[in-house]
Structure 1
């Protein structure tokens, strides 16, 4: 049933419309509601969200049709509005159409025209709502895949990270090591399939976007191909990579990696003997060719190989196919039908094209094989090698199908005092695993949700917060935002550790102020390195501020320091410079912190106690006053010392000169 609201001040219009559309009303095709002015119409729209169509007069008392049309945009954009007015109102009708009205009819009303206009507008509204519903379903699907990926990545982290740690230890029995490598290889393959499904869902919903950077295209593709070399060697296949490209290009490394990985893995899967060649050439566009001497694809199947979930089922008696798949644990004879579909859609997303040519062996003397050709419109750029390599993200850790972890020990804290790390993670097994791994080097405290993590961070002021993103209540983004926008916690380094590995998720985390972003599953040795690097950076900055604040020199104590918190402390100390009663408690009160919080934050930033920080600020100001010509007694009183003698003793301890000697020098 289509609900039509008629907003018109002509009282005769209601019986006229009810009579004209009597049959449609009886058959429950239309139902009519009536309002005498814009205000009544607005009230009905708020009460009746199921209104499909409005017949809206322009000239009405209290609130006219144009004013109601303005309000409608904020209330419900899925209502079709037909303006009803006299011929003399054509300028108003034009205004109404510009504001979103769908159509108009003029008075006196031609009911045949009105009937057709209502039918046309109803179809438009139906299409609009179906489109909106599809978008809602698409968003729900995308959110579902996001959530399910998070749920998959957490247990995969708990599989891969412990296995990696076991493989890093002294050699285990060969059979155990072989089994662990098999588990690791299959877990990596499961992770890749999950990522591919997520990318397909994002492509379908239009949420997958490009993220291009400059880099060495030959080096990038070559590294991915090289990662397959051990697997090719084990199967006595020749894997060859050639490129005639020079210079640097702009490309999306994550999507190109997926394309190269799927094509090379596909070639390995269906090639029992011979060779696989990967070539990069510069034609009118960049051309990537992957050629194999495998079993080939039958001509009748070629048109369908890029369809999603299409699977080529070879004859069970095909000895070459059997040999090809036996050497690749974790793959079935038919595959998943995802890889090549993703290759095509990612290529087209980047503005490229993909084609395939294949030959199936029909006799012993004939050769077989398949060639995939990808044309990509990557633009060349002029960059030096150092800047280019820093812009592109080299091969993902999961790209190597036969990856074996190297022995990498956690870096000891050395001169860094044993730091305090807060781990915020809602999965208790993963939280316990991370805490156990980090506790060999750091002091570790944990929280099981963002709210608890926020309270713990304010209470304990850790050196580092390691947080998940998807958590009940406060998520990782909000926690990061709070930490980085609160004066008491903005110095704390934050690493986001999340299953949301897509580029927009990483950008969102970094926008909120995160110092680093690591995707799940992660390598424990990489986590240790990133923590160590951040803490080393903090220690270096702390030493710099300590030297800046404690070394006597020509610098004015009020000279700007690039830290808002220290600037605020110095401003407060300057404000109360001559107040002998202004001490630690007063400073803490003025800055809005407890004495304990202030002491811990100041120590974390400058390695100084509150007393040392205050005394050294006063003494640096004293040196400035003495240089300006004030005598010793005046200077003592100006910086809040009631005893010039005591001031002289403290001054000499700091500057290694008495105030008088300082003035002479």
Structure 2
């Protein structure tokens, strides 16, 4: 037998060895086996058959063919068996055999398989190690999470304990401060004893202030302190707070100065937060300044899209060492001093409050020279209507304590003496504007949009009924509560007044206490109307609330106005910025009138109501389940996802993701 191996470039011949074995490379898996008969005389009468054991177990008949061709035989070990016979005779029992071995390719060789095994073992070991590390890390994370939860619970229990103790302190403090106030007004008390009582009162007030400070700190830390923005002049609040501290200052060597720009601007700010910040900074400045000055400055920084108010409190006290400057805003941190210690809460509270107002606080200080605290608060300037005067506050002018934003009351009375008397009765709680007759009163009502109107019934030119009819017929003034003062106590007059929409009657002579009580009740009723009108904008309004609003003609009329405004907002809800002047023009009102009308109906300004409409629409889209939170935020015109989540949580008390999960 002769082997002819076919290769890509050349052919070669191989002969079996004495052991009837032949070895081929992987590339030599296509070959031919040539057969021959030793006796030439039998060459034409001998027939062959074969089988390649390991590839095919069947005998294959060749006849007189002497060549066996094999192509692309897989690597492995084979046994080639060949038997012969003469024509038409039986096959011989003996057969020739040849063992053929075809080597595997290099990548399937034993060294390669060993290498693969080693690699698999290494990879398996690495994966197993990583899995074990992952399990250990998850276990450590669970332990750490449980520990944090336990620490949080312990912290909350401690804070709740402090809060409860603080609340308990307020009752005895109230019982202490009340009698002390009475003692100070006791004429028979000697001057020496009055001084002692004054010292006790001063320290009781200080303790009361610390108790309130702890409560505010607890509220801020628990994230229960909301940011409630309102329009106003920041200079008024700053000047009032500084004046309060200046009056309470009994140190003759200390002077408290307030410096405010001559022309102030109207901005949006949280008056409560600003006052608490300023109170804490002024208290600290006065405490650590034995002599010299404490100066408070207010100025503004105007940026492209916002306005920032900067409140600076400078003192000439003992100052703070540089190594303590980075720690004074930490909770319960106290700077070592020779003077009396504090609680370490005030500056931490100031920092938290400034953060709530989207601001920050910085400090500069030198030992023996003094300190300067600067609070930078994000505000937004408000466009002042043309008929609203600009507030001018000279540096030396400060409002007296107790002054502040008051509700506007329109008093229409033709009798001068009675008008001035009622003004003196009401001016302590309300900002009073006066008119001598119904025509003048109607003009003032349209231009100023008061919170409540008190009018006489019998007046020249236009009586109370005529004024009432005009007020309830105008969109701008239809929501204003009206009290009619009259000496005519007949049933027909009352029926006519109630038919026109009067809210209350008072018969002369008038009791001041009854007048105040009636005004308070009407304003409380107005606040309840806020909730009902706002409920109509909610997509979750109950059926009984809707029925109640429909059955009330007055509420139905006012809700129609708010709903018209809401529909107008929804038409351009995808606009990130809505022009209030354009909205007012489409509502056929001036901007200031629309502002006061919506404020009187809902207790919210234009921007707050626009935001409410956006968020209610967002809730409706989230409940549909067709959009994700980012898409909904853009669809309602709020491009900042952080601001959208904040507004949504303020409206519904939960994040959009939580709301969507509950509603789907």
Could you tell me the TM-score, scaled by structure 1's length?
Answer: 0.37
1 or 2 for the larger relative contact order (CA 8 Å, sep ≥6)? 1
* Larger CA Rg, structure 1 vs 2: 2
Could you tell me the TM-score, scaled by structure 2's length?
Answer: 0.37
Q: Specify which structure has the higher proportion of strand.
A: 2
